[in-house]
């Protein structure tokens, strides 16, 4: 008689089945099999928030098959994902299959490899009710907010709107940033920059003015700048001091869920949903010629930086083989996780470091290869030796003015031989990743000034959030958990509370209206500190230091009072969503059209409504022209939401491309060019038979997939 193991996904079932052999039957629940009902609240508030679960209708056949198989199996093990959600799914399965939750029926796999599966099966346990109750509390909190606050928005703004406990805070963060940008007042400032040439040197180096007559200088206008430039005319530039030192540069730690999503956005231009989908596939298992079905990475929802000793030893062994003993970190590197992180799982790493990215290339999808390569390189680099940088700082004086010049060279590349954190290569935090060297300078050496210029600058407003920076902000503020970042961003995009402008996230008018209304009447719901405290309370429930129903009672008491007060204050009132005016005339009455937001997105409607009810679709003109018929190129989206560009003449022409049309013309045939993004970016002519193309600086693709 075989034993039954139930996992969440068919791909995972296939991989685990290969390792366990004929004595086990592995089946998949395909996610949740029970949930709160869709059509009603599903929470009995009077009976201490008792949830009313229902079997999912689309799982009826699967539930019957699982029951049948469980009845004829020796033992039943529940092997859903090793987190709160997975524990809750196992709890629901135990209920449906009449299993004793206290008995050792629960197994978890940190990695779907032979070792990982063997270790998991060797340590079955009872269900962790702390994890289950934390998930139940989160689900009920979200249901209460969604089902009780959304009708308020329907009555006061528009039907079909919804609010979410975490999503509404995320929207507020984006709205607050947009207001900060709008209210920003730019300030003028100037710098004085010199281009200097050492004696016998061939290439000048830059230096920046920092002090005048021993005092730090701040230039706010051209007049003051010109005074100093006049003073520097004909001045002798002399090296007054040189400071040389060696600096260590440490590698970044292995990935957590948050840092993986951020780095995949920066380096691979993946959005968070694409990253997590690909990571799930790598965890659950892929087919490789030499290994069969195998999970390539450890569990991808984690905020821990812990690494097993076995994984460290394997990495160090491989580093020695591939790069040499000098590249293996001499000590034992331990990365410290954040105070509120869950340490149940390791950081995200390869299941078997000896499976290199080169070995899987051609056997997995492009996305799987790129993400695995990123994870593999980051993990391996974390166990490599520090980089050593020779730094040079020079003080240069000219008529009482002090200029500073800094540079560095790489003495030993260490981990940088394999991996550089993209956030650093973009100039943030530690910054120095290139090789910028100063010439060999000596004290009292006279330098030739190739140029000394005053440059005008203006302070810049903070940038809009990208998915990467929003995830970082959510994590830093304690909003949500690793498993919630991607679905939160997807939800607020789908609800049209925010939209993408290239890779940036900006609030829509609808998002601003909803946020302002919630801030006025439900400040706690969109307050970052309050939401972060709720996450802390959920963590306490998980660790059995807080009663889950007590947390719900405390939240609901205040929430109900606030809702009652808001309904009273808003009685008879309704908030209008402002239209965005355009200069497009209405084809029927001549009045201008406005951009309106309906249940299915933005559209153009006559400003003379209700007298004129004319509407039309919004056409996103992308610029450039079609290489086949010279028609307008329009920005469009595929059925899966992936942006592309297509000719306006869909029926007669039908030309489409993922590459961006640009305004530059082809020097050969004078037709408009297209830009292909990525590391091997280029401008090219798409006219059949032309063939013109030229390389451009590497950069992100204009299409954020």
Which ranges of 589-639 does DSSP label H, i.e. alpha helix? Answer: none
Q: Quick one: 445 exposed, middle or buried, by C-beta within 10 A (0-12, 13-18, 19+)? A: middle
> Which of 299, 372, 419, 497 does the annotation list as catalytic?
299
Compute CA 267 distance to the chain's CA centroid, rounded to the nearest angstrom: 11
Letter string b/e over residues 95-131, b meaning 16 or more CB atoms within 10 A of that residue's CB:
ebbebebeeebbbbbbbbbbebbeebbeebeebbbbb
Task: Report the candidate in 509, 517, 525, 465 with the shortest Cα–Cα distance to residue 167.
Answer: 525
Strands (E) across 65-182 are located at: 76-78
- 77 catalytic per annotation: no
> With 0-12 CB in 10 A as exposed, 13-18 as middle and 19+ as buried, what is 147?
middle
Q: How many helices and strands, by DSSP H and E, does the chain display?
A: 18, 31
Give the integer Cα–Cα distance in Å for 639 and 657. 15
Distances (CA, A) of 9 to 86, 298, 369: 11, 16, 21
Tokens of 45: 């508030």
Give pairs for 79-82: CB < 8 Å, separation 24+. Answer: 79/5, 79/6, 79/7, 79/16, 79/106, 79/107, 79/108, 79/109, 79/120, 80/6, 80/7, 80/8, 80/29, 81/8, 81/299, 81/301, 82/108, 82/109, 82/110, 82/299, 82/344, 82/345
HSE of 502, CA atoms in CB hemisphere, 13 A: 10
Tokens of 672: 């408009």
Any idea which residues carry the catalytic annotation?
299
């Amino acid at each position: 008689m075989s034993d039954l193991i139930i996992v969440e996904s068919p791909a995972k079932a296939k991989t685990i089945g290969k390792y366990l052999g004929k004595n086990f039957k592995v089946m998949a629940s395909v996610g949740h099999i029970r949930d709160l009902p869709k059509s009603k609240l599903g929470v009995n508030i009077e009976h201490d928030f008792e949830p009313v679960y229902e079997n999912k209708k689309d799982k009826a056949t699967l539930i019957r098959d699982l029951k049948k198989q469980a009845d004829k199996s020796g033992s039943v093990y529940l092997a859903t994902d090793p987190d709160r959600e997975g524990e809750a799914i196992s709890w629901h399965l135990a209920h449906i299959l009449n299993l004793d939750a206290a008995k050792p029926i629960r197994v978890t796999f940190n990695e779907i490899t032979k070792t990982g599966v063997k270790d998991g099966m060797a340590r079955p346990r009872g269900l962790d009710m702390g994890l289950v109750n934390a998930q139940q509390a989160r689900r009920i909190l979200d249901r209460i907010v969604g089902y009780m606050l959304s009708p308020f928005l329907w009555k006061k703004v528009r039907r079909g709107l919804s609010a979410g406990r975490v999503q509404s805070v995320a929207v507020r963060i984006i709205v607050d940033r947009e207001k900060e940008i709008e209210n920003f007042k730019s300030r003028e400032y100037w710098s004085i920059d010199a281009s200097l040439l050492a004696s016998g040197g061939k290439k000048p180096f830059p230096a920046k003015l920092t002090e005048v007559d021993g005092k730090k200088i701040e230039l706010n206008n051209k007049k003051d700048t010109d005074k100093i430039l006049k003073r520097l005319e004909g001045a002798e530039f002399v090296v007054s001091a040189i400071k040389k030192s060696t600096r260590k540069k440490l590698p970044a730690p292995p990935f957590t869920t948050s840092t993986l999503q951020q780095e995949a956005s920066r380096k691979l231009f993946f959005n968070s949903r694409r990253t997590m989908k690909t990571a799930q596939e790598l965890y659950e298992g892929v087919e490789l010629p030499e290994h069969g079905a195998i999970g390539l990475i450890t569990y991808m929802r984690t905020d821990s930086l812990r690494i097993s000793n076995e994984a460290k030893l394997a990495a160090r062994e491989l580093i020695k083989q591939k790069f040499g003993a000098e590249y293996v970190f001499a000590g034992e590197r331990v990365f410290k996780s954040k105070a509120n992180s869950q340490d149940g799982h390791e950081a995200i790493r390869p299941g078997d470091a000896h499976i290199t990215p080169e070995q899987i290339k051609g056997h997995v999808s492009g996305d799987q290869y790129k993400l695995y390569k990123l994870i593999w390189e980051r993990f391996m680099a974390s166990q490599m030796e520090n980089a050593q940088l020779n730094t040079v700082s020079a003080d240069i004086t000219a008529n009482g003015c002090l200029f500073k010049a800094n540079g560095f060279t790489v003495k030993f590349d260490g981990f940088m031989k394999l991996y550089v954190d993209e956030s650093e290569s973009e100039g943030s935090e530690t910054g120095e990743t290139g090789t910028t060297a100063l010439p060999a300078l000596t004290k009292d050496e006279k330098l030739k000034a190739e140029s000394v210029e005053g440059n005008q600058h203006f302070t810049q407003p903070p940038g809009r959030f990208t998915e990467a920076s929003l995830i970082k902000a959510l994590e830093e503020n304690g909003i949500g958990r690793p498993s919630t970042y991607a679905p939160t961003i997807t939800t607020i995009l789908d609800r049209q509370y925010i939209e993408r402008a290239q890779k940036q996230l900006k609030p829509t008018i609808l998002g601003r209206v909803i946020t302002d209304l919630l801030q006025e009447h439900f400040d706690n719901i969109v307050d970052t500190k309050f939401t972060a405290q709720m996450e802390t309370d959920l963590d306490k429930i998980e660790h059995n230091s807080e009663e889950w129903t007590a947390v719900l009672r405390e939240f609901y008491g205040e929430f109900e009072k606030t809702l009652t007060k808001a309904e009273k204050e808003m009685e008879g009132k309704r908030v209008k969503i402002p239209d965005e005016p355009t200069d497009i005339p209405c084809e029927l009455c001549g009045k201008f059209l406005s951009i309106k937001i309906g249940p299915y997105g933005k559209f153009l409607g006559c400003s003379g409504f209700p007298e004129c009810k004319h509407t039309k679709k919004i056409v996103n003109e992308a610029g450039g022209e079609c290489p086949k018929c010279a028609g307008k190129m329009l920005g469009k989206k595929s059925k899966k939401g992936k942006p592309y560009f297509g000719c306006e003449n869909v029926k007669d022409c039908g030309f489409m491309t993922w590459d961006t049309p640009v305004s530059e013309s082809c020097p050969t045939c004078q037709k408009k060019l297209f830009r292909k993004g990525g590391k091997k970016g280029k401008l090219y002519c798409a006219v059949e038979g032309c063939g013109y193309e030229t390389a451009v600086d590497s950069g992100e693709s204009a299409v954020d997939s």
